[in-house]
A and B are shown apart, each in its own frame.
Chain A
């Protein structure tokens, strides 16, 4: 093993404690369903514990988890089981404190999946365009263009003027 590569020994409990929220919310932004998000989190953590590839740092672990979460979300949508089972078309019963939270949440839910991904990583995970491009294996210009289009769509949906800083 390379000296620069240090294997991150993370147990199941530590894994849940550290990365559950991140993985869950990312999966939620992809699936728009709480139960599906729980399943994806379970799959991601199982894969993490089974794989032997050593991680360079925690940032590497985080990037790996994000990538796998997005891939698992895509796999679920393309699975035959998902296609044969029509999910209940109901909004998640979430008690938002303000109307703005509700509007922003449901507005982003209506975005296309690839736009939801970049929006979530940029605004919730506070990741830079460069890191997003590395994590998603995309060009920075692509990430920027997707962010730009997503903001345009949100501006149309959200009646109030939001500054997308």
Chain B
């Protein structure tokens, strides 16, 4: 009974057979090929892995690409820039000739009392010359003076020292081009004497100056220049004598003696106390010819 009623009840309900048949006919279902399925699945998986790898690979690249740029910019930013304050300082030096560039110059102004025009012009232009000299010897890439020839003419003991000193001086050709307000001035050298804070300057730009003492108690300070217009003018206006192969002008005062030296390759200024002729000859001979 139950089976009969159950079947009769469900037989009353029918589905939309025609619609289903039509849908199946329109679908045109094909038997899936293993190759197609495999290729679809493999292709999808490969594409997913490829996208993942590209995304992972690209991220570090982006970081690395920015880091060098940042490094470069930082490097560029850290390039040493000349201190503009030095220029003003140099100008002050020029405008105020009384300001001593270095201690030797200051003492020289006091010591030199010879009423010689060349001497006065030399003193007046001393600071200017030193200033210019300092300005020209800023570039670290300036060609050093060939010390080989100098070493040959100098005494054996002093040749290495002098050669090293001369090596630090730029050649004459470099002097006019180096005159620039942007360059660091070696007034730092003088700033030590005047009490102002020196700006960082290469030692190679400074005129070489070294002390010299003798056994008899006399001492002197030797300053060597590659180019010195004041000294040049002094030699033009005054008579000179030849000592140890170099032209010299000697100024004697009560306290000290000033000797201007001119050689083929350099100029020098020697300031000493109780210098004898032998001492003077020795000092002049030590100067690179």
Contacts and interface: CB of A to CB of B under 8 A. Distances in A.
A103 B5 CA distance: 9
B24 interface: yes
Contact of A12 (B1, B7, B16, B21): B21
Nearest to B31: A52
A5 to B, nearest CB: 16
Which of under 10, 10 to 19, 20 to 34, or 35 or more describes the interface residues of A? Answer: 35 or more
B9 A105 contact: yes
Contacts of A98: 5, 8
B35 interface: no
Given A16-B17, A50-B29, A42 B6 contact: no
A56 B6 CA distance: 31
Contact of A24 (B7, B9, B15, B27): B15
A15 B14 CA distance: 16
A28 B3 CA distance: 17
Nearest to B25: A12
Interface stretch (A69-77, A89-97, A133-141): A89-97
Interface string B13-35: 11111011101110101011000
Given A38-B15, A50-B32, A102 B9 contact: yes
A133 B32 CA distance: 31
B31 A97 contact: no
A12 B22 CA distance: 9
Given A16-B21, A25-B10, A123-B6, A46 B27 contact: yes
Given A12-B29, A50-B29, A104-B2, A42 B13 contact: no
Interface of A: 12-13, 15-16, 20-21, 24-25, 28-29, 34, 37-38, 41-42, 45-46, 49-50, 52, 92, 94-98, 100-105, 108, 119, 123-124, 154, 162-165
23 contacts: A12-B21, A12-B24, A13-B24, A13-B25, A16-B20, A20-B15, A24-B14, A28-B13, A29-B10, A37-B15, A42-B24, A46-B29, A50-B31, A50-B32, A94-B12, A96-B12, A97-B12, A98-B8, A100-B5, A101-B12, A102-B9, A162-B2, A164-B3
